[in-house]
Amino acid sequence: METLIKWSAAVLAAAVSFLYGEWSMLLSILLTLVVIDYVTGLVAAGVSGEISSRNGLTGISRKIFIFVMVAVAHLIDTVLVEVGIESEALIFMAAIIFYIVNELISITENVGRIGLPVPKQIKQAINILKGGD
């Protein structure tokens, strides 16, 4: 059993390394925000009486596909490097930042649905990340 666990961990680590390259702080932030968004979405749905297993499953599926798209972005960067176009993980980082901003927007929407005020500074920071003024 111990050998199976070790092999499983090694295969998982190899898969993560292939799909995402070196694990970065941006990936950790994205993972954290995805979890926070899911939890705040559940709470907001519970408060509004809209909670359902179907919506929960849809939410989990969407969260999984965020990481699928980030992996695709990393693989595109890898292909660009292989054909001689030095991308420096540009597409990978752009995808992560795109999803980080989306998660932040969703979290603030969920918090609003819960009835909690959102600090002006957080709204301003999200606006800056979105490319606004």
- Model pLDDT for residues 67-98, shown as the tens digit of each residue: 999 999 999 999 998 888 877 789 999 999 99
Phi, psi of 84 (to 5 degrees): 95, 10
What pLDDT sits at residue 132?
A: 62
User: What is the residue extent of each domain of the chain?
Assistant: 25-130
pLDDT beyond 60 at 133: no
pLDDT: which is higher, 132 or 76: 76
pTM for this entry:
0.84
Residue with tokens 């666990």: 5
* Token pair recorded at residue 32: 């954290």
